[in-house]
Structure 1
Amino acid sequence: MQGIHLGNVVLGFVAFLFSLCVHEFAHAWTTERFGDDTGRYQGRITLDPRAHIDPIGSILFPLLGLIGGGFIFGWAKPVEVNPNRWKNKVVANIVVSAAGPISNLLLALGAVLLLKLLVVTGGVGRGDVLSMFSGHELANPQALLGLAEPVLIFLRMMIVVNLLLAVFNMLPIPPLDGSHILSSLLSVVSVPLMEAYESLRPYGFFIIILASLTGLLSQIYLPLMRFFLVLLFSLL
């Protein structure tokens, strides 16, 4: 498949938007487990996109990335939390922050298991699955009553998008989820070290942009994505 296809853009956008909603839902649902119901009062414990989307981060940026065929980048409205209501602040901050990326890993795993089911039941061949991930045409495009290609494209996007969201958000750069985890760990090891790290938070966005422009960001997350892809595809 060469060039940009409208169908691929639509499938990719749906996969990305759904994955963002699950990510934010996981944060809101998990923080309530620790005694903070802020997310529920703000209507964030839902998969309804209207509760989570940011017009720029959830629509414009992802569509531009998909149309341009490049890096898919975007964000949803962050779930607000009230740490004062958490029963165990350190553990809660770590678990609540990790909930979003973990939900994305589970979505990626679910997509791989669906691919496995299709292969086992004979809906598609294992070669078709591998071909889609290597950018080649399907060996049997009429499989699944002619729906093999869009189904595999969607599942491929679900895997790639969710691994990207999981890996990217776990990076310890403010305001990403990984920064809250690292900050909580540092608060146990050394409060002054945690405070020094927290002083970088206002500059987090610029750090991300600089790391992206210099190629440092891709050098970090691409090997991690490859690791998870190999791990997931070992299940096929």
Structure 2
Amino acid sequence: MDILDQSLGQLACSVAGATRIFNDYQLDFCCGGKYSLRNAAQEKGIDAEEVARRLASLQGATDVTDWNAESSETLIVHILLRFHDRHRQQLPELIRLARKVERTHGNRKDCPVGLTDHLSEMQQELESHMKKEEQILFPLLLCGQAALVGGPITIMRMEHEQHGDALQHLLALTNDINLPSAACNTWRALYFALRVFREDLMEHIHLENNILFENAALMRSAHA
């Protein structure tokens, strides 16, 4: 199938490194991963052929991990260390920076008023979500209890959709995380960190929705 007609989710799974390119163009490959590259690019006003050429150049690359080829155990350890631990480090600092920007520049029309509260809500929701994975879902998967994970995975997918909505609201508050003119260093640090956090969370959701959870579904089918 032509790259242009494959879904963003398929490409994120089959082309190692594709998610970095999708982030460059703000293409949603996790919650919006069902859309084809052609349609998603058209909706964004992006040159789909340019994106396809960059994806084609990655095929055969060996400097990135192909998570489809790794065990669920290895992927879970990666998710815990690379994303769960990272989000717990990122959000307190993001909240601190956002609070300072709102306190100092709240009278400016381009100030992201409400961002501190929104990030605090995201922190609470993510912490609850990650604890469910750490205490319930991941132990079941690691013990090979595939028959018992259908319900927890359904809940995790629903919460991923909510995280995706939260990221969309974050973009709305920050003008797509674009710095205004004459932004101070704290504001610059905040928006840089927000971009990193957004990319991390989208990659986190992608690895779970499109690889870990799909592998679990195959295991359930095999044991049915």
Compute the TM-score of the two structures, normalised by the length of structure 2.
0.36
Compute the TM-score of the two structures, normalised by the length of structure 1.
0.35
Tell me which of the two structures has the higher relative contact order, counting C-alpha pairs closer than 8 angstroms and 6 or more residues apart.
2
